[in-house]
Amino acid sequence: MEHDDCKNNIVHRLSGLRIDMDEEELTAQETALYDRQIRVWGVDAQKRLSRAHVLISGLSGATAELCKNIVLAGVGSLTLVDPRPVTEDACNANFLILPENINGGRSLADVCCESLKDFNPMVRVSAEKGDLMQSDGEFFNKFDVVVISCCSSKAKKLINEKCRKRSRRMAFYTVECRDSCGEIFVDLQNYTYMQKSSDDTAECQLDFPSLEEAISIPWMDLPRKVSKLFFAMRVLDMFESSKERNPGETSISDLPEILKLREEMCNAQSVKDYDSLVPQSLLERLLAAGTKEHPPVCAILGGILGQEVIKAISGKGGPLKNFFYFDAADGKGVIEDISKPHAG
Amino acid sequence: MYIDSRCLYFQKPLLESGTLGAKCNTQMVIPHLTENYGASRDPPEKQAPMCTVHSFPHNIDHCLTWARSEFEGLLEKTPTEVNTFLSNPSAYAAAMRNAGDAQARDQLERVLECLDKDRCETFQDCITWARLKFEDYFSNRVKQLTFTFPEDSITSSGAPFWSAPKRFPRPLQFASSDPSHLNFILAGSILRADVFGIPIPDWAKNPKKFAAAVDKVLVPEFQPKQGVKIVTDEKATSLSTASIDDTAMIENLIARLEDCAKKLPPGFRMKPIQFEKDDDTNYHMDFIAGLANMRARNYSIPEVDKLKAKFIAGRIIPAIATSTAMATGLVCLELYKILAGGHKLEDYRNTFANLALPLFSMAEPVPPKTIKHRDMSWTVWDRWTIHGNITLRELLEWLKQKGLHAYSISCGTSLLYNSMFPRHKDRLDKYSVDVAKEVAKVTCPRTVAPGRRGGAEDDEDNDIDIPLVSIYFR
């Protein structure tokens, strides 16, 4: 009995994000507060959560849901970055901000920070000023998990690379919600975790591509039935970046240009039937929505991503590899593995 | 299921969802479009058969289930029964005579035990009770079980009786020097004292003094008996074994109970205990963990600490914010579809997800079962309406016109008419609404009589489910 415990412990220390585990027990207060969730993931996972540091940049409806979930779960600290002012649009799907905060002078990060503290006083929630794109490696070293939203594809790739360069293993995620569609991207680099089966627990290993690597894979190399949202989002990303627009700064009047871009991108990827791969109807929906998010979809994305973050911190449970798409129009949620197949 | 029946009756959509840890599910029930909630049942939760819990445990869950059940029986149910008896002895006796079965007999025996043989007046009495319970549970019963079914027993089919998953138990030898034994007695004595309203003396918390008091208890020798019935049938739902003279025994027990009651101080009542798992000072979890672990020891099952025991015995549903948020979002999406109106079956979604794996599974809801008869077809959502204050006979005639031979008519859970019962012939010419008022005791709203469900047969004498019939009698 004891020997097995020892072995499991060692394996466990090696898996996940190798969070600093001193032998401190949870306080009585923590055990009482987190009782119901400890029954799901165990005391050890709860301890790891309480020592984890999470960075979330870009406060939208989806990331607001995510913040709520991980603050309730009891992470050690949550750092928010979003210097944008509170606008009326932002209030539509972000329940952490109120109409009275509109044009109140404080940033989105500041206002959300305050609301989140109420959810769980045991979590250190703070707002960080400054531009993440300019931040150096040292800054990122402080975190175990980084989640990026509401910024350009270029910025996401850049920050992803910064995270991958750290010697400390970090979990990187992006999330976007447009109209009633959502996309989650997961990068855990090379990741070991514990997988429970009916009888025992085994150690598993996965290799995640970077964001750049994943979206560089030629479209013809991807499985036939990959979610159309993947391609639609790539076209949108390309459009916004070429026009130097902020993410979601689109409208239906952009449709003719986007359709042209779609044709160009498909040709470059040797895809003949471009409306089948990237339906016009889908592009129309996404364009028209701009930055508008459908709140129920935010809840769905925030729930799924929240659990992914918790799994990565605890090292327990199979991670989502590596894209997730949801579209309320067909009510489907799918996991897409968009990575180069292993050589050999 | 009740909600499902109300939604069926009032034709309301039901958006069902639930979570269990990282798992969540949503199910849409839309009138006339989907099957109702009750149409498909989840596979029943695997509950250990009663005989496993009571005589043949093979894991700690069985032991904890048994422990929880004993705790509730000894400290809550029986004291409550005692109080019911003492509050109105003649009513209680009448109820027991009326029931007249093995369960009533067992119940009376337990109440009598509490007030007579095992009644406690001092703390030492409580210690005695707890010590004898230890002997009974963890020594005598095991000796009796292994006497009735020795280690080399064979079943009727020739296989060894004690083959896996059954584990062969061994009796425990009580020793006040064993802290786990002593803690069991301590917790038991204290709770027994609480139930009898006896104050706990300070010396009880002193292990040496307490051990000395326990050793003073005279424990009678035990001899296993021949011909003792032990339930081995996995499908048995009751442990009470009926005997031919239950009625006579019940009479006898009642008489002895009434005698006992006379000897009690006036206004005597017991104090039933309700299991409270979160108070670490109340000895509840100590007793349950003690019961479970000693039993586990009998059966060579690994024991658990108090915290783990609390988790399992507490039957608490594990819950996290993430799956809850996801389920809520999914249900909201479906709600918008209902409010928008005009959506087809194929537009709705039922979801099952397990965020731990991760796994996401979405599907269209299933349409309701259609029943066909002659040129008609209907589903569980349909209603037949009749206008007019008709009699039961007229109702049967109306159904006959449709080629349906109705043999029973009920209203809610009450039976209004059944062709099997001769007495019911008198009801045939009464107004349906009057029979409903008399038998089902319903107060009918102004115009609609509560739906009748008919049991009917079609032209070929096959049983057929017919829609609810609503009678507008005014």
Distance from CA of A261 to the nearest CA of B (A): 32
Nearest Cα residue to A310 out of B5, B55, B355, B349: B355
| Residue contacts between A and B (CB atoms, under 8 Å) | 102
Distance from CA of A110 to the nearest CA of B (A): 23
User: Are A306 and B321 in contact (CB < 8 Å)?
Assistant: yes
User: Are A296 and B320 in contact (CB < 8 Å)?
Assistant: no
Residues in chain A closer than 8 A to B351 (CB atoms): 331, 333
- What chain B holds in terms of domains, given with CATH numbers, is 1-44+319-363 (3.40.50.720), 58-300 (1.10.10.2660), 370-472 (3.10.290.60)
A334 interfacial to chain B (CB closer than 8 Å): yes
Judging by beta carbons within 10 Å of its beta carbon (0-12, 13-18, 19+), is residue A158 exposed, middle or buried? middle
Q: Tokens 């005639």 — which residue?
A: B397
- Average pLDDT rounded to a whole number, residues B339-362: 95
B407 vs A236, more confident: A236
Cα-based angle A138, A141, A143 (whole degrees, multiple of 5):
140
Residues in chain B closer than 8 A to A41 (CB atoms): 320
A192-222 pLDDT, tens digit each: 988 877 667 788 899 999 999 999 999 999 9
Q: Which residues of B are catalytic?
A: 51
pLDDT of residue A5: 46
Considering only CB atoms, which residues of chain B are within 8 Å of chain A? 21-22, 311, 316-330, 332-333, 336, 348-349, 351, 353, 355-358, 360, 362
State the angle between helix axes of B60-72 and B306-313 in degrees (0 to 180), rounded to the nearest 10: 70
Which of A300, A308, A316, A332 best probes binding to B when mutated, by most B CB atoms within 10 angstroms?
A: A300
User: Are B325 and A307 in contact (CB < 8 Å)?
Assistant: no
Residue B360: pLDDT above 80? yes
- Partner-chain residue, chosen from B21, B326, B358, that has the shortest CB–CB distance to A40: B21
User: Are B329 and A297 in contact (CB < 8 Å)?
Assistant: yes
Reading chain A (344 residues) residue by residue, the pLDDT tens digits are: 344 444 444 444 555 676 666 667 888 788 878 888 887 888 889 999 999 999 999 999 999 999 999 999 999 999 999 999 999 988 999 999 999 999 888 999 999 999 999 999 999 999 999 888 888 888 999 999 999 999 999 999 999 999 999 988 899 999 999 999 999 999 999 999 888 776 677 888 999 999 999 999 999 999 888 999 999 999 999 999 999 999 999 999 999 999 999 999 999 999 999 999 999 999 999 999 999 999 999 999 999 999 999 999 999 889 999 999 999 999 999 999 999 875 43
pLDDT of residue B241: 67
**Domain boundaries along the sequence of chain A:** 2-212+293-336, 213-289
A32 vs B151, more confident: B151
Which of B326, B344, B354, B359 best probes binding to A when mutated, by most A CB atoms within 10 angstroms?
A: B326
B381 vs A29, more confident: B381
- The whole model's pTM is what? 0.74
Class for domain A2-212+293-336, per CATH?
alpha beta
